[in-house]
Amino acid sequence: MTAMTDAVAAETVLDIQDLRVTFQTNDGPVAAVRGVDISVSKGETVAIVGESGSGKSQTMMAAMGLLSDNGRAEGRVLYRGEDILGLPLKRLNKVRGARITMIFQEPMTSLDPLYTIERQLCEPMIEHGGLGRKAAAARALDLLKLVGIPAPEDKIKAYPYELSGGQRQRVMIAMALANDPDVLIADEPTTALDVTTQAQILDLLADLQKRIGIAVVFITHDLGIVRRIADRVVVMKDGEVVETGQTAKIFDRPAHPYTRMLLDAEPEGEKPPVGEDKPIVIDGQKVGVSFAIPRGFMKPPALFHAVEDVSLVVREGQTLGIVGESGSGKSTLGRALLQLLPHSGRVHFDGKDISNAGKQVMRPLRRQMQLVFQDPFGSLSPRMTVGQVVTEGLLVHEPGLSAGERDRRACQVLEEVSLDPAMRNRYPHEFSGGQRQRIAIARTMVLKPRLVVLDEPTSALDRTVQKQIVELLRGLQAEHRLTYVFISHDLAVVRALADTVVVMKTGKVVEAGPTAAIFEAPRDPYTRDLIAAAALEPMHGRVVDA
């Protein structure tokens, strides 16, 4: 997008002045937004960046009157000179959905699952545009064509669950454009999407903006996106604006240390190679996993091949990166390697054939083969203290251990993942996402495993926290000669951690090889798409000391 001209800058459409948001909680009032000023001019793209908890979403939610019941907003939110904060609902609803529209982070749940796309697209048009049902339906179809939904004539009659995440986000964009608004507020609209889908959605937004000329407020934590689309950047931290300026200026000459830290958070470095003489830890030959899909009464089930004929070898101390989009079968493959799913083909662990081995065989091996999950919120029991969570595995694998000894081990391992051992008596909900992921890692490390399968361990975390987790994983690997299978859709993280990379698409391997070769000279067009979509910074060519 081009930088805006001064003539355009004169016309301010949205002007947020000294906005403050307070939430009434059980622990007293919490100030989430503390005196924020943001102005948006006609046709301009303003990015609000900051980490989770910086108040960037709440600022816009407050402006739109969408705070939860315990939230209160003060200050002024001027839309073309009219203060819309605290407007009576009837008057406010003349602006919301008509002049200012929103798209949200959660494309999977932002549409009502019980109504068709057509019905939901038409509602705001009938409400604000005064269109009849027929006219609205015709316009809805045009909008779906505009946002590039395949087979729009069929999709318009579909329910949200019949659409993919990217398609649903396109529907949301269509809905946002329906009444020709002045301002579009996009709250992390691509965060929940695959990289290639993400790139498509961003291109679509940029293209539409050029054609229609609406102002866009883009809330995101991803600086790669900001650089690509924003005219101006507002950096927020702890409910305050710490820096604001033209995109180029923010990226080239950041003034505030926090901005510099955000910019510096891209995972860097690459992994020092491991010698070919090291023993092979896990060796999969033609591994396949298929699921039976019931087709109804008395019919034979259909077979869905989630993973087909994947072969891989990982040596001690190596990291294998498995990349691919959601649905590519990468997590399923990880689970099959750990014998958590029945599979075809052969899997050897430390030279021993463990293909579809029974519980008896696997139990002693389990402690050497561990798994870390993506969701640091869902994967820790909320009713156990961190100390209990971390040492639970010891109850199974070293039942003879005394309570005191287990406690000592808990302290030790928490220190190893840079958490204060004094916190071991707290419960998981008292920790941040990054800390919880450290706890999940500690839980596996306490068993001193040889192989750890990490299933998107950094995907739910802020970039700066991601970087710390990457450093932690690196340190643990070097110290304990760990072998990692690292499953991720985040190419930047994979590039920083992996020795070899396997690129998967619809259950098959499309390309495999050493990390540098894959990233610098990808052969398969799909790999090239993935890398282009991720918009990685060029390699620094720096090797981290092991």
Partner 1 sequence: MLGYVLRRLFTAIPTLFFIVTGAFFLIRVAPGGPFNLERPLEAKVMENLNKIYHLDKPLWEQYLYYLGNLMRGDFGPSFVYRDFSVSELFASGLPVSVQIGASALVLALVFGTLLGVAAALRQNQPADYGVVGLATLGITIPTFVIAPLLSLVFGVWLGWLPAGGWGDGAFANKVLPVVTLALPQIAVVTRLTRGAMIEAMRSHHIRTARAYGLKPWTVVVVHALRSAILPVVSYSGPAAAALLTGSVVVETIFGIPGIGRYFVQAALNRDYTLVMGTVIVIAIFIIIFNLVVDLLYALIDPRVRLG
Closest alpha carbon to 496 in 303, 310, 319, 378: 319
The string of DSSP codes covering 390-459 is HHHHHHHH-TT--HHHHHHHHHHHHHHTT--GGGGGS-GGGS-HHHHHHHHHHHHHTT--SEEEEESTTT
Asked if 191 is part of the footprint of partner 1 (rule: CB under 8 A), the reply reads: no
Per CB under 8 A, the segment of 97-105, 206-214, 320-328, 476-484 that binds partner 1 is: 97-105
Per rule CB under 8 A, count of chain residues that contact partner 1: 34
Asked if 292 is part of the footprint of partner 1 (rule: CB under 8 A), the reply reads: no
Cβ at position 68, least distance to partner 1 in Å: 8
C-beta closer to partner 1: residue 107 or 345? 107
Q: Is 9 helix (H, G, I), strand (E, B) or coil?
A: helix
Q: How far apart are CA 171 and CA 406, in angstroms?
A: 53
Cβ at position 327, least distance to partner 1 in Å: 19
Q: How far apart are CA 255 and CA 253, in angstroms?
A: 6
Lookup: tokens for 370: 């561990």
The H or E element containing residue 190 is: none
x/- site string to partner 1, residues 405 to 444, per CB under 8 A?
----------------------------------------
Closest alpha carbon to 75 in 86, 90, 89, 61: 86
By CB under 8 A, name the one of 11, 18, 112, 420 that touches partner 1. 112
By CB under 8 A, name the one of 106, 309, 375, 524 that touches partner 1. 106
Q: How far apart are CA 533 and CA 522, in angstroms?
A: 13
x/- site string to partner 1, residues 54 to 93, per CB under 8 A?
----------xxx-xx-------------------x--xx
Is 307 in contact with 343 (CB distance < 8 Å)?
A: yes
By CB under 8 A, name the one of 50, 55, 75, 97 that touches partner 1. 97
By CB under 8 A, name the one of 111, 149, 201, 502 that touches partner 1. 111
C-beta closer to partner 1: residue 68 or 402? 68
C-beta closer to partner 1: residue 241 or 460? 460
Asked if 24 is part of the footprint of partner 1 (rule: CB under 8 A), the reply reads: no
Per CB under 8 A, the segment of 110-118, 197-205, 225-233, 453-461 that binds partner 1 is: 110-118
Per CB under 8 A, the segment of 113-121, 194-202, 251-259, 341-349 that binds partner 1 is: 113-121
x/- site string to partner 1, residues 163 to 182, per CB under 8 A?
---------x--x-------
By CB under 8 A, name the one of 3, 30, 114, 292 that touches partner 1. 114
Asked if 280 is part of the footprint of partner 1 (rule: CB under 8 A), the reply reads: no
Which residues are paired to 20 by β-bridges?
A: 34, 74
Lookup: tokens for 402: 């005394």
C-beta closer to partner 1: residue 92 or 516? 92
Cβ at position 60, least distance to partner 1 in Å: 10
C-beta closer to partner 1: residue 219 or 439? 219
Closest alpha carbon to 21 in 58, 64, 49: 58
Cβ at position 161, least distance to partner 1 in Å: 5
C-beta closer to partner 1: residue 92 or 357? 92
Cα–Cα distances in angstroms (integers) from residue 296 to residues 40, 292, 301, 304, in the given order: 55, 12, 8, 15
Cα–Cα distances in angstroms (integers) from residue 370 to residues 222, 337, 346, 422, 452, in the given order: 30, 11, 19, 25, 5
Closest alpha carbon to 40 in 73, 1, 9, 74: 9
Q: Is 25 helix (H, G, I), strand (E, B) or coil?
A: strand
By CB under 8 A, the residues from 125 to 154 that bind partner 1 are: 127-128
C-beta closer to partner 1: residue 23 or 115? 115
C-beta closer to partner 1: residue 179 or 385? 179
C-beta closer to partner 1: residue 31 or 158? 158
Sign for the CA dihedral angle at 497, 503, 506, 509 comes to negative
C-beta closer to partner 1: residue 108 or 544? 108
Length of the chain, in residues: 546
C-beta closer to partner 1: residue 126 or 340? 126
C-beta closer to partner 1: residue 264 or 291? 291
Question: To 5 degrees, how large is the angle CA 533–CA 539–CA 540?
Answer: 150
Q: Is 240 helix (H, G, I), strand (E, B) or coil?
A: strand
Hey, how many other C-beta atoms are within 10 angstroms of the C-beta on 211? 9
Asked if 238 is part of the footprint of partner 1 (rule: CB under 8 A), the reply reads: no
Cβ at position 88, least distance to partner 1 in Å: 12
Q: How far apart are CA 436 and CA 389, in angstroms?
A: 11
**Contact residues for partner 1, defined by CB under 8 A:** 64-66, 68-69, 89, 92-98, 101-102, 104, 106, 109-115, 123-124, 127-128, 159, 161, 172, 175, 296-297
